[in-house]
Structures are given as structure tokens and as C-alpha cells.
Structure 1
Amino acid sequence: MRLAPPVPMPGRLVRTERLTLVPPGKENLPDLIRLKADPRVFELMLHGTRSEERTREELEDDIEFWQVRGYGTWCVYLTATGEFLGIAGLMERPDGRGVALRFALWPECRGKGYAREAARAGLEFGHRVGLARIIAVAWVENVASRSVLRDIGMVECDSFTYRGRQMVVHESIRGG
């Protein structure tokens, strides 16, 4: 757990009623290694759990993505305590489907609305910075994530099979 999240450049920090979303920096590597290696969190994510080296590479990519695009993935903290809860944000999908909303929080966060709050903040930020269409992809059996996506206004628009699993694509169109 990390207390007192670092303060990023203005305009990139997002605050909600209970959460603070901060673009990642190298100081977040230990938390990210734990999160991304945990199968309870990352088993259902694209490419599954990550090694320490892969997490390090992804962090470097995340930092660069923010610099180039002006949006990306945030580290999510509980504002009241500074506790690291997970990640949420926007990334270009490697399969060419577009910019996707993603979120991955510790299982202990379930049932508290943190994923919904972080996902909504990421979606709103993306549309505010000019993204006309944002997608999200969830395994058809991942009822909790699909519920979050519906609750924040995303609608099902497509599906595909990945690693033998049926995946559902949701989308949000700015102004739609």
C-alpha cells in the first residue's frame, strides 16, 4: 500500500467523490507488480497475469502513452487513506479495435462501487479530451465488469472469441 500519491502534471489528476486517479510513475512499480501478478485481478485481462519484467515494460509504455496522447491509465487511490486500489484508464487495444476503457482493482474493493466510480471518471475524461468513441471489452461471464460498463452508460455493440472465451465489446459515443 502506498500513501500520499505523487502529484502529476495539472489536468491529468482526476478526483471523484472518494478516489484520486494519478498517472503512473516509476514509484508505482511495486504496487503494479503485485496487482498485475495476482490472478484474482489479472487472470481475465488481455494477456493474463504479468511477470515483473512485463509489468516494468508496461509501466514504461504507460508513462510514454500519457506523454504522447495526453490520456492513459491511472493508478487509483482511496483519497481518504491514500491506499492503492488498482488501475483504471484508457489504452489503445493491441487488436486494433480502438481506445478501450479498462479497470482492475483488488478483489477486496468489490461491492463498494470503486470500479464503477473509477471507470466513469476514465470514460468522462476520455470524452472530455476529445475521444469520440471509447470501447471496453469484457468476458461474457464477467458479470461484474459488464454491469459496471452498463451502469456507466456503455452499450453492447459487438462480440468476438479470444482464447476460447466469448468477449463482449461495449462502446460509448461522445454525445450519444
Structure 2
Amino acid sequence: MLPVGLENLADLVRLKGDPAVFSTMLHGPRAPERTLEELEDDIDFWEVRGYGIWCIFRIRDGAFLGISGLMERPDGRGVALRYALWPEARGQGYAREAARAALEFGHRAGLQRIIAVARETNTASVAVLKALGLRQCGEFRNHGHRMLVFESLAADRAGNAARED
């Protein structure tokens, strides 16, 4: 995984503009102009916070698979885990691996609480979050959809790691 940069714009425009990928995301698929604005925000976020969104590439051939990372939610709920992969990259463990890396990075960077939000009907995302040990801590409605809020607490992860040793 590599932090996003302007060199990733073409891949991000395709990914974020594709309804098969972004229809379940907050605000849905993006226009190219919006994707550029988000990319610039992501680059700035890395510079200010020291964490953010990564691009995910397959090791064996360098194929762009999607994105994962951490970003401040625009609704004020906190720093959130995010991931979005091409449909053909799903079901192979990439989302779980990338999301786990982002969570661990965030907690090592000092974040005590990281949330994740998934549409209730996005069963694949909900399964990834549960597999990573996030627990549901709330819900809200967004454009008629029930959104589930999950959280990962640094104290819980430290306790789990100590029990595993």
C-alpha cells in the first residue's frame, strides 16, 4: 500500500466513478472533478495528520485494486476506516488485509478510537469489520439507508494482543 498521490488520479477517477464500487459509499459515485478535490484533500490530510488513504496494488503484477485507509468523517463522528476495491478484487482477503493494516497503523499513530461505517445491506463490508474485531456501537439513517457504525478501540486491541501472547 502506498499513500495516494496525484499519480493515482486516473485510477481513482475510474474507481470512484464506478457505481459498482461507490454506490454504497457516502455521497455515491464521484465526478472526476470531485475525485480530484478528494485526492488533494487526502494528500493534505497525510501532510497534516501523518496518516490517510493508501492505494492498494497487487504485489505479483502491480494492478491497482482499490483504496484503504483512515479519514476524518465529514459528519464529525471521528476518524474512520475506509476501503473500496474493484469488484473483481473482492472475496480474496485484500479488503481485510488492507483494513487491518490501516487500523494497526492508526492505533500505533495514537488514535484511541477508529470508527467504520457500512450500509446495513453491504454484507461484505460488515463481515470484514466484524472479522477485524470491530464492534457495532451505533447506527443512523442516510438517504433512506440504515448505516451501521462500528468502532475499534486501542485499549481493546492492546488487551487482545496481550491475551494472544
**Residue type of the partner of 2:134?**
M
TM-score (norm: length of structure 1): 0.88
Secondary structure of 1:96's aligned partner: coil
User: In the TM superposition, what whole-angstrom CA distance separates every residue of 1:143-175 from its partner, at most 9, and x where no partner exists?
Assistant: 100000000110000001010000000000002
Structure 1 runs, 4 residues or longer, greater than 2 Å off:
none
Q: Which structure 1 segments of 5+ residues have no match?
A: 1-20
Q: Distance in 2 between matches of 1:59 and 1:111?
A: 26
**Residue type of the partner of 1:69?**
R
Q: Distance in 1 between matches of 2:44 and 2:90?
A: 30
Q: Indicate yes or no: 2:18 matched with 1:38.
A: yes
Q: Identity rate of aligned residues, in percent?
A: 64
Match of 1:8 in 2: none
Match of 2:6 in 1: 26
Q: 2:134 aligns with which of 146, 154, 157?
A: 154
Q: Which structure 2 segments of 5+ residues have no match?
A: 157-165
Match of 2:161 in 1: none
**Residue correspondence of structure 1 range 130-145 to structure 2 within 5 A:** 130-145=110-125
Q: Indicate yes or no: 2:65 matched with 1:100.
A: no
Q: Which has the higher helix share?
A: 2
Q: 2:46 aligns with which of 66, 80, 101?
A: 66
Q: Indicate yes or no: 2:17 matched with 1:48.
A: no
TM-score (norm: length of structure 2): 0.93
Q: How big is the shift at 1:110?
A: 1.4
Match of 1:14 in 2: none
